Structure 1
Amino acid sequence: MLLHVGCAQWTHPAWPQPSRDKLRAYASWCNAVESNTTFYATPSRGSVENWAAQTPPDFRFVVKLPQLITHERRLTNADGELRNFLHAIEPLGPRNHAVWIQLPAAFAPTDLGTLAAFLHQAPRDHQYAVEVRHRAFFDDQQAATNLERVLARVNAEWIPFDTGTLFAQRPTSFAERDAWMKKPRVTRRTRALTAHPIVRYIGRDSVTETVDGWAYLVALTIQWLTEGRSPTIFLHTPDNTEALNLARHFHTTVAAHFPTLTPLPDPTPTEPPTLF
């Protein structure tokens, strides 16, 4: 049984990493990563080949579609751009866990027809996962049900971004204040649609508050594993300084309740910080 855990990036000034092959070093700590850089531009195929070369076969990327497709074209008239993107990430092979479609907050329930058409036409040799931020999808049960139906037709997952812990208390630092301004404030979602649920969780500067806040997610992850699902959990903090350690700690916490879980790799020795 597999639990993939990771962060929003594979490099950070505060993390123990070498000057080269940072992704290889990161992959010795975590077995998944959010590929956010692809949101800004389609990577070269050579770059993606390098990503694949630095990661083991069981490592997983969740690769975000470029903003040109999701935010500028709003999923319309982007067939060529989508083909180019999928061609570029092809070297990842099975490491490409899902194509991540992060939609803007203005993408409302009335736009579901556009999403349905896009997913229907998208190549079936890829898995897709959709993140919505319009509050109606979280506050209106009918809107949520309609979205789930659209996703179910193509076996796509709904990625929730859990900001409950972040917004549980007023911000106490610049990083937390910045996150309060930028992150969506939506209702927590705990329903998996596929065998491979994905959750993005953001805590706070305080490690204790972050860990206390994810208690529900540990229980949910154990439930999913018991059901035969293979979840992927991404751990964020406002500045992500402690995210690398937190991701491993989350995996260790779940493994204590689910001992048959495949362990994470042993980190490359680089004098890592020790929180736990």
Structure 2
Amino acid sequence: MACELRHPRPGHPVAVGCAGWSLPTDIAHAFAAGDSALQRYASRFPIVEINSSFYRPHQPATYARWAASVPHGFRFSVKMPQAISHDARLRGAAPLLDTFLHAAAHLGDRLGALLLQLPPSLAYDGRTASAFFRALRRRSAVRVACEPRHPSWFDDKADALLDDHGIARVAADPARVAGADQPGGARHWSYWRWHGQPRMYYSAYQQPQLCSLVAAAVEAAQAGEAWIILDNTAHGHAVPNALQLQSMLEHANA
């Protein structure tokens, strides 16, 4: 399906990938051969989101092995541990940041982004958020995307704080609160996380929905690079949806 774009002029790249690199058997033929699922995944997609780092730490050697198995231009987005976002709730998290960032740094120049997903119960507190982001920025210049899920994060004050620290606010689907489906914060890059509708993680997206996403991403890419991550992985829909998005983007840029 070709998407009719309101602003088809050239912009920055729009990169498409998935949360994790598991490949459904019925679509594995669309990928090149490789020694691992990650190598095969990276033959088609330029980015991937590591979600397992949210639940458990990975060894530096693991990150280094992943980096060595992908092409030069490939980039990882690494989700920050729940110990930082959910347990510490961003307070006193510097030691946890040090451990996490030391390990993730072994991705080298394949480390393209850090993802911070906040619990729905975590309300915006300017002092806490600013202290955390200052601590993070003292330790890393890597691009950061934040996915807040409490309504208090979706106002001008919170948006300005994210922008001050160079943090992009995730555009999420389904949107838990009004405005959560639109990118916010710093706009030098944009980050979409689509989790599946109507059933989160399980449902596939249909072409009209994907076409609207392509149009939004191409529009945002006029200001900076745009990343799209498909997280509807439970029934294997993320990979075919991501391939559909790539095809739509190719038609849009033709």
TM tier, smaller = 0.7 to 0.9
Residue identity matched to 1:215: C
Deviation at 1:125, TM superposition (A): 2.5
2:133 maps to which residue? 119
Is 1:103 paired with 2:118? yes
5+ residue gaps, structure 1: 139-143, 165-183, 260-276
2:151 maps to which residue? 135
Residue identity matched to 1:155: G
Residue identity matched to 1:160: A
The 8 Å contact of residues 203 and 237 in structure 2, kept in 1 or not, is answered as: no
Structure 2: distance between partners of 1:103 and 1:60: 23
Residue identity matched to 1:157: A
Query: Per-residue CA shift, 1:171-210, capped at 9, x if unaligned?
Result: xxxxxxxxxxxxx465453345322211012334675x53
Deviates more, 1:13-22 or 1:44-53: 13-22
1:150 maps to which residue? 161
Is 1:83 paired with 2:98? yes
Residue identity matched to 1:133: R
Equivalences, count: 232
Question: In structure 2, do the counterparts of structure 1 residues 156 and 188 end up closer, same or farther at CA, with 3 Å as the change threshold?
Answer: closer
Q: Secondary structure at the match of 2:83?
A: helix
Q: Secondary structure at the match of 1:190?
A: coil
Structure 2: distance between partners of 1:156 and 1:185: 19
TM-score (norm 2): 0.82
1:198 maps to which residue? 191
Question: In structure 2, do the counterparts of structure 1 residues 63 and 240 end up closer, same or farther at CA, with 3 Å as the change threshold?
Answer: farther
Q: Secondary structure at the match of 1:87?
A: helix
Deviates more, 1:58-67 or 1:227-236: 227-236
Which residue of 234, 246, 251 maps to 1:239?
A: 234
Structure 2: distance between partners of 1:149 and 1:253: 33
Q: Secondary structure at the match of 1:33?
A: strand
2:6 maps to which residue? none
Q: Secondary structure at the match of 1:223?
A: helix
Structure 1: distance between partners of 2:106 and 2:148: 28
The 8 Å contact of residues 221 and 254 in structure 1, kept in 2 or not, is answered as: no
Q: Name the Cα RMSD after superposition.
A: 2.3
Q: Secondary structure at the match of 2:72?
A: coil
Residue identity matched to 1:256: H
Structure 1: distance between partners of 2:152 and 2:141: 31
The 8 Å contact of residues 170 and 183 in structure 2, kept in 1 or not, is answered as: no
Deviates more, 1:122-131 or 1:62-71: 122-131
Deviation at 1:124, TM superposition (A): 3.9
1:250 maps to which residue? 245
Question: In structure 2, do the counterparts of structure 1 residues 222 and 13 end up closer, same or farther at CA, with 3 Å as the change threshold?
Answer: closer
Deviation at 1:19, TM superposition (A): 9.3
The 8 Å contact of residues 77 and 114 in structure 2, kept in 1 or not, is answered as: yes
5+ residue gaps, structure 2: 1-11
Structure 2: distance between partners of 1:72 and 1:48: 24
Which residue of 44, 49, 60 maps to 2:64?
A: 49
Residue identity matched to 2:228: I
TM-score (norm 1): 0.76
Structure 2: distance between partners of 1:61 and 1:154: 21
Structure 1: distance between partners of 2:128 and 2:180: 25
Query: Per-residue CA shift, 1:134-153, capped at 9, x if unaligned?
Result: 13434xxxxx2111111111
Deviation at 1:249, TM superposition (A): 1.4
Q: Secondary structure at the match of 2:120?
A: coil
Residue identity matched to 1:201: W
Residue identity matched to 2:41: Y
Which structure dedicates a bigger proportion of its chain to strand? 2
